[in-house]
Copies of this chain bind each other. A is one copy, B any other.
Amino acid sequence: MLYGGVEAGGTKFVCAVGDRQGRILAERRFPTTTPEETLSQVVAFFRHASEAYGLKFSAVGVVSFGPADVDPESPNYGEIGATPKEGWEGTNIAAFVHRALRLPVVFDTDVNGAVWGEARWGAAQGLRTVLYITVGTGVGGGAIVEGNLLHGLRHPEMGHLIVPHDRVRDPFAGICPFHGDCLEGLASGTALALRWGRPAEDLPSEHPAWSLEAHYLALAVTSYILTLAPQRIIIGGGVMRQPILLPLIRAKVPRLLGGYCPLTPMERYLVPPTLGDRAGVLGAIALAIDAAKRR
């Protein structure tokens, strides 16, 4: 049997066909355009894969950008909420895929997908409480708590955490349309590019941007530790590609904790994703496997 995975991003979609062991048999990436065009490509990919392998799909997992309705009890399960991404508000991705392919579709957030993928086949195997943070165009977080994906009331919005903003050291106002200087407003790739006048990938490791970036991310990581007590934190996303950044954060977090929470060595506690940019789509496949098992 085959399992389908979709990572629906605001910029691009990733579709993959996987087996029970998380081996990827086929994969396709394409830019996010209109809902109709993009979702038709998703459906075409899976139809084609099914024919190519002569195998049926058991289920499809979709993990998506948000805000999104991830409550299986809700009539709008699978629907994108108020997003600035034009044309997508009100689009029900799960329902579209389900109707077209007549398969069970399970739906969650992109960050929950990533943490679920890392827990099954990556850096969080065997752990019961884990946090995944992504620092890219925006900032987001997903968590597994005592073995279950954290949903709560709709879903967390960890990227919008309040962090102390030192306006003397950093007069930049922040770019979050909701909060100004929340974590995403101060530390996302978008914020970095606007504050320093060039994209994050063009800022050399000796640039003062990175010390400030590490400061904000360490403050957030510390607050997440105090609130969620994860056994491990996985931190990924485009901004983390700057190699100096992770060591800087690792150095700051224990100082901010003030020795209060004894942690395993930071090199094993705060780690990059091992599934790279496939964490989300592999998490979607893992969710599909789980959904097929439950039936």
CA distance A223 to B220 in the complex (A): 10
Are the CB atoms of A152 and B259 closer together than 8 Å?
Answer: no
Given contacts A163-B164, A223-B161, A260-B160, contact A229 B153 (CB under 8 A): yes
Q: Which residues of B contact A257 (CB under 8 A)?
A: 178
Are the CB atoms of A156 and B229 closer together than 8 Å?
Answer: yes
Interface mask (A225-256 → B, CB under 8 Å = 1, otherwise 0): 01111110000000000000000000000001
Interface set, chain A 135-158, CB cutoff 8 A to B = 141, 145-158
A47 at the interface (CB under 8 A from B): no
A1 at the interface (CB under 8 A from B): no
Are the CB atoms of B229 and A155 closer together than 8 Å?
Answer: yes
Given contacts A145-B145, A163-B162, contact A152 B226 (CB under 8 A): no
Are the CB atoms of A263 and B223 closer together than 8 Å?
Answer: no
Q: For the complex, would chain A's binding face be called helix, strand, loop or mixed by DSSP majority? A: loop
CA distance A158 to B260 in the complex (A): 12
A257 nearest CB across to chain B (Å) = 8
Are the CB atoms of A179 and B260 closer together than 8 Å?
Answer: yes
Given contacts A145-B146, A227-B227, contact A263 B162 (CB under 8 A): no
Are the CB atoms of B129 and A162 closer together than 8 Å?
Answer: no
Q: Which residues of B contact A178 (CB under 8 A)?
A: 257-260
Interface mask (A121-138 → B, CB under 8 Å = 1, otherwise 0): 000000011000000000
Q: Which residues of B contact A160 (CB under 8 A)?
A: 226, 260
Interface mask (A207-225 → B, CB under 8 Å = 1, otherwise 0): 0000000000001001110
- Taking Cβ atoms with an 8 Å cutoff, the residues of A that contact B are 128-129, 141, 145-158, 160-165, 176, 178-179, 219, 222-224, 226-231, 256-263
